A and B are shown apart, each in its own frame.
Chain A
């Protein structure tokens, strides 16, 4: 195995945001399941689940702005810069997919090499932008509408009514429920199963030294 060196790729605000987000998402999913399936699931009372869901929801919204503010006002936003060449992006994404779907079973190296401003592989880069800039805000917006349907009646009516708002909210809840399982699994596919988890606590990713001649 090649030598490893450490690279600081996860600044403190990002780590705080990430773990707050992770815990909050799990709480939102659990309380969401409790609210939607009371009678089948009995972790807590309906009322407590609603109150907790509302509280954690607002924590998540505040946390989102921590993330947004950090990236907006620091040069780390480069990690989210999109690949301007669609062909290159598609080619790199396909290469990454081939790694997870085929190369990893053959023991091939990960085609993506982490650097300070390039910590996401092409698939992650695209997925996280869609999640953070589209899906998460929609989930927050529909959540706030459902939090007080009468106060935000205009917004609710723009959607077509409370049932439509709820349907959008639940569809995203379904997506995030699957994501919360798949995300940690993908995170376990580092050079050791715990490497990326440790990095998200310490901020330092362990990077394999490039073999000579590469």
Chain B
């Protein structure tokens, strides 16, 4: 738990903070006079006498260097100016400062400890952060997982309302590749223009603190529909089964036309109505998939059935099914969004045999950290009669049609054309035989007609008896 990581900051410091905060705000008014003018308080100026010096730093126990430099102008303009240095660094005893500390070995350890200070004021944001993929990675011991100070330079935090160039978005520090693609996308281009603040930046879609693994749920689709609220109505005007398309096709699959697409068969709990997630500490998906994939070529239709059976073994509380979805294959590709006039609109791009979107198939489950784990399947699972049950919920007309039905259709056509032709041929072949029989019958009839008329008379005379 993160709490365990950061509880190194003790209760005394918390009290010190409250005292300092109270002094700063309650006694001096809501905003100290110096802060209102963008100036620094005398105490802060004292601090900056040393900390304002560039290359002011201290070595950590592991050999890293912790910068102690505070850019004065940026701090004076930041939202933390009213709090002042002591607001966050209340643990520093000026009488003994600088005091050597051996408690924190690394720069990161120092940053983790400082998260507690942020939490004291920003508890609501911290709670959101705790449920995020970033916090999960931190709990898993990932040293690259971002902390408060990694995204928000604490000495230069700008107000939310301040216009900042998109290049300053902190996400790009770790997600540089995605940022580069975003900057060239329709959103990035619009954001980069003067007055383009309405165009989305990373946190607008992914959320700043409660950021989740993008491909794990529907939150990104929901984000799209928040701004593009009329998109379903617009699609319904020309797209058959528009709601189904919204359900089974991710937005970038059409709106990033150059992206590579794939079918992702998600393991889904139809009872709980959510994606199946691996339990912490007992990963089963990959081992089950590997044991089903005996040839190592990717899961075929039978292996897929057997994998599903494993998840639905007797005693399983849930009913696991596969829910297919057409999506792009990577994060950068998901950001290659283009103008809507360039989006894929031709139905037969996907609804034809051999369509590129159906050449790659994966099965996925949600890992304990929230990110999906994929295992490859053979593309033939989409057109196999064996898969009718296992992927009953996913079907794209034309592209994933069942081959066996094509064979039956050809046989039916052959029968439909062949039976009449065969029957006609037989009739033609038997025509002479038929004519012969008819002639014999007529001859017999003529013969009976030519019998002595007494017969006819006799019949006539006997007719009342008939």
Q: Which residues of A contact B (CB under 8 A)?
A: 35-40, 45-47, 50-51, 54, 100, 104-107, 147-151, 159-164, 166-167, 170-171, 173-175, 177-182, 185
State A35–B419 Cα separation when bound (angstroms): 27
Set B391, B412, B434: member contacting A175, Cβ < 8 A: B412
14 contacts between A and B (CB under 8 A): A36-B397, A37-B398, A46-B351, A106-B433, A106-B434, A148-B241, A148-B243, A160-B388, A160-B389, A160-B392, A161-B391, A167-B402, A177-B409, A177-B413
A35-B405 contact given A46-B347, A105-B426, A164-B389, CB 8 Å threshold: no
In the complex, which residues 418-448 of chain B have their Cβ closer than 8 Å to any Cβ of chain A? Answer: 419-420, 423-424, 426-427, 430, 433-434, 437-438
Interface membership of B348, Cβ < 8 A? yes
Pairwise interchain contact B348-A38, C-beta atoms closer than 8 A: yes
Closest-by-CB residue of B relative to A163 is: B395
Pairwise interchain contact B395-A178, C-beta atoms closer than 8 A: no
Set B346, B416, B424, B437: member contacting A177, Cβ < 8 A: B416
- Interface size range on B against A: 35 or more
Given contacts A150-B243, A162-B393, A178-B413, 11 further A-B pairs with CB under 8 A are: A38-B348, A38-B351, A46-B398, A148-B241, A150-B247, A163-B393, A167-B402, A177-B409, A181-B417, A185-B420, A185-B423
B345-356 interface code vs A (CB 8 A; 1 in, 0 out): 011100111100
Pairwise interchain contact B241-A149, C-beta atoms closer than 8 A: yes
Return B44 CB to nearest CB of chain A, in Å. Answer: 60
Pairwise interchain contact B240-A170, C-beta atoms closer than 8 A: no
Top 5 A-B pairs, shortest CB-CB distance: A161-B392, A181-B416, A185-B420, A150-B243, A178-B416
State A147–B401 Cα separation when bound (angstroms): 17
State A50–B395 Cα separation when bound (angstroms): 16
Set of chain B residues within 8 Å of A37, measured between Cβ atoms: 353, 398
Set A54, A178, A185: member contacting B412, Cβ < 8 A: A178
Pairwise interchain contact B405-A174, C-beta atoms closer than 8 A: yes
Set A36, A148, A167, A175: member contacting B398, Cβ < 8 A: A36
Pairwise interchain contact A107-B352, C-beta atoms closer than 8 A: no
Pairwise interchain contact B388-A164, C-beta atoms closer than 8 A: yes
Q: Which residues of B contact A (CB under 8 A)?
A: 238, 240-241, 243-244, 247, 346-348, 351-354, 387-389, 391-395, 397-398, 400-402, 405, 408-409, 412-413, 415-417, 419-420, 423-424, 426-427, 430, 433-434, 437-438
State A159–B413 Cα separation when bound (angstroms): 27
State A180–B413 Cα separation when bound (angstroms): 10
State A46–B405 Cα separation when bound (angstroms): 20
Pairwise interchain contact B408-A174, C-beta atoms closer than 8 A: yes
Set of chain B residues within 8 Å of A106, measured between Cβ atoms: 430, 433-434, 437
Set of chain B residues within 8 Å of A54, measured between Cβ atoms: 240
State A164–B387 Cα separation when bound (angstroms): 10
Pairwise interchain contact A38-B352, C-beta atoms closer than 8 A: yes
State A100–B408 Cα separation when bound (angstroms): 25
State A178–B417 Cα separation when bound (angstroms): 8
Closest-by-CB residue of B relative to A105 is: B430
State A109–B387 Cα separation when bound (angstroms): 50
Pairwise interchain contact A181-B405, C-beta atoms closer than 8 A: no
Q: Which of B346, B347, B434 has the most CB of A within 10 A?
A: B347
State A35–B395 Cα separation when bound (angstroms): 13
Set of chain B residues within 8 Å of A151, measured between Cβ atoms: 243
Closest-by-CB residue of A relative to B405 is: A170
Set of chain A residues within 8 Å of B247, measured between Cβ atoms: 150
